[in-house]
Amino acid sequence: MVILKRKEEIRIMREAGRIVAEVLDMMREKIRPGITTGELNTLAETWIRKRGAIPSFLGYPPGSRHPFPAAICASVNEELVHGIPGSRVLEEGDIITVDVGTLYQGYNGDSAWTYPVGKISEEAQKLLEATEGALWAGISQCKVGNRLGDISASIQEHAESRGYYLTREYTGHGIGRHMHEDPQVLNYGQHGRGIPLRRGMTLCLEPMVLIGTEHTRVLADHWTVVSANGKLTAHFELAIAITEGEPELLTRL
């Protein structure tokens, strides 16, 4: 069931999203060769708590035998999503995706961005541009009158027309009181299909892009998802609200 949000709820979600955006802004400044993913996690968690929010990834999902052990996901190079921050030292030429979730006054914010570490290869740069472009292609479809499939198809077209692959195993999602709500926002689909977009829908769009394969596997830590072929991956995510006009970007400053 898709839960439409009232204006007041969207106002709170904008606050939750602002904290996420602040953390990602800080990450952009701090990411450089020599810093560890664990240090990034500490910086992020400290800021989230200082702003009166809770890092929603920590301990997720509740009751799990292997709850996520950190405030951010830090996924380096072939790691697509759900990387666990720790002692890994970032090196010149790496790319790192930081995914951040906050719970603030009962509502969630969720956004991810892939950053270059120092100077990166042309292959990596093109991957980042294509993945961010796929996100914006999806967002351009986020308006009343369109359907969910228009978002999915636009993401897919943008990435695949540039020769990339999108995972079928992980998707975007609705967001609100729960971090993951209906509907699933697939990264592949057909125009004109799926539910109509309505004012008050709040969605996370998150293309996850691979080179040469759509397949992934999960490492023995129970969380880290890597490309099956070990090649680079990228992931960009924003939370948006459907309005009468242009979509509102909830996780941007």
Nearer residue to Mg ion within complex by CB, 33 or 83: 83
Which residue number, 177 or 191, has a Cβ lying nearer to Mg ion?
A: 177
Question: H-type helices in the chain, by residue range?
Answer: 7-30, 37-50, 122-139, 148-160
Minimum Å gap between C-beta 121 and Mg ion is 25
- Smaller CB separation from Mg ion, 44 or 112: 112
Whole-angstrom distance, CA of residue 17 vs CA of residue 14:
5
Minimum distance from residue 34 beta carbon to Mg ion (Å) = 26
Side chain identity, residue 206: E
Please state the length of the chain: 253
Shortest distance, position 175 Cβ to Mg ion, whole Å: 7
Shortest Cβ distance from residue 119 to Mg ion (Å)? 27
Burial group, residue 133, by CB count within 10 angstroms (0-12, 13-18, 19+): middle
If the CB atoms of residues 169 and 212 are measured against Mg ion, the closer one turns out to be 169
Minimum CB distance to Mg ion smaller for 12 or for 23: 23
Residues that bind Mg ion (CB under 5 A): 99, 110, 112, 204, 237
Nearer to Mg ion, 25 or 93 (CB): 25
- Beta carbon of residue 155, minimum distance to Mg ion (angstroms, whole number): 14
Q: How far apart are CA 89 and CA 222, in angstroms?
A: 21
DSSP secondary structure of 172-231: EEE-SSSSSEEEEE-SS--TT-SPBP-TT-EEEE--EEESS-S-EEE-TTSS-EEETT--
Beta bridge mates, 97: 75, 114
Least distance CB 92 / Mg ion (angstroms) = 26
**Residues sharing a CB contact under 8 Å with residue 65, sequence separation 6 or more, in sequence order:** none
